Amino acid sequence: MWTPDDIPDLTGRTAVVTGANGGLGLVTAHELARAGAHVVLAARDQSKAAAAEEQIRARTPQASVEIVPLDLGSLASVATAADTINAAHPAVDILVNNAGLMATPERRTADGFEMQFGVDHLGHFALTAHLLPALLRADAARVVTVTSTARFMGGAVKPDNPHLEGRYKPWRSYAQAKTANYHFGLGLQQQFEKAGVKAQSLIAHPGLSNTDLQSRTVREGGAGWSGAFFEVLAKRSGMTPAEGARPQLRAATDPNARGGELYAPRYGGNGPAVRRPLLRRWDMQKRIDELWLVSERETGVILDVASAAR
């Protein structure tokens, strides 16, 4: 059974983890730092980020970490964060697109995007695009994007209504955002392969993990009784954050992992982190292509690996 003790020595590597101030992101950042990587804690809440840094250093005194403010709900913040990272680090070896929201009431980002789609996908799309030069300068960078089993609820982005105008429901929005994460991870790997670069894109999902994600959903009241149900279920039978972070850690660090693969708990919601089969719908390529068009149109950011690699 794979555990973080199997992570190879990451000395000299630079990792960026979004949402690193709590939950799965904090565990991921700590384990990467414990293995010797310099870890950028990219987070919106600076007080929580400072507490996370203190916690990492308390557990691993030799840890090399820094905080970079990042609000995925603001394209300006994403660009500023990427500029800060690019200026300080010529190469980025690992990018974990971990941060996200779940089943929140309908809201808009600073740029007018539906909040869950804007934060969970569009913000990460723009961040990855801005960090491409640094990722491509690494020997063999890995980008890990975190999805969810909610993608099975359907919800591929509709180019004519990506922000669910008049159709918003908390779980529908979450399903769309997590489907977008899934398609983004696969589409990015396609671009890496076409460009002939060594960077790889992988996908991970944490199963049912007992983190603040469920509690925040309940606090904000967007998911009704189902949010409370999943909060209780996670508390009673969900994995710990340390267990839930293992799929994304394995995807980011296992020398045997390959681009385009999905890592998840063996039994869907629980179990050790293993490689799981990809379920490909007949129209998946169309959905990936549409997602790219929508993402570039909405953000105004072009994510073209071949151009960045020249």
Count other Cβ atoms within 10 Å, centred on residue 112.
Answer: 9
Q: Which of 168, 174, 263, 267 is catalytic?
A: 174
How far is Cα 271 from Cα 168, in angstroms, rounded to an integer?
33
Count other Cβ atoms within 10 Å, centred on residue 46.
Answer: 11
Residue 174 bears catalytic tag: yes
How far is Cα 35 from Cα 233, in angstroms, rounded to an integer?
32
Secondary structure (3-state) at 61: coil
> For the range 229-235, what are the long-range contacts, defined as Cβ-Cβ under 8 Å and sequence gap of 24 or more?
233/208, 234/208, 234/209, 234/210, 235/210
Any residues with CB less than 8 A from the CB of 157 and at least 6 apart, and which? 117, 176, 179, 180, 287, 290, 291, 294
How do beta strands 38-43 and 64-69 pair? parallel
Three-state SS annotation for 225-293: HHHHHHHHHHHHHCECHHHHCHHHHHHHHCCCCCCCCEEEECCCCCCCEEEECCCCCCCHHHHHHHHHH
Count other Cβ atoms within 10 Å, centred on residue 274.
Answer: 16
Q: Are 144 and 96 in contact (CB under 8 A)?
A: yes
Q: Are 180 and 120 in contact (CB under 8 A)?
A: yes
What are 95's strand-pairing partners? 16, 143
The residues annotated with a catalytic role in the active site are: 174
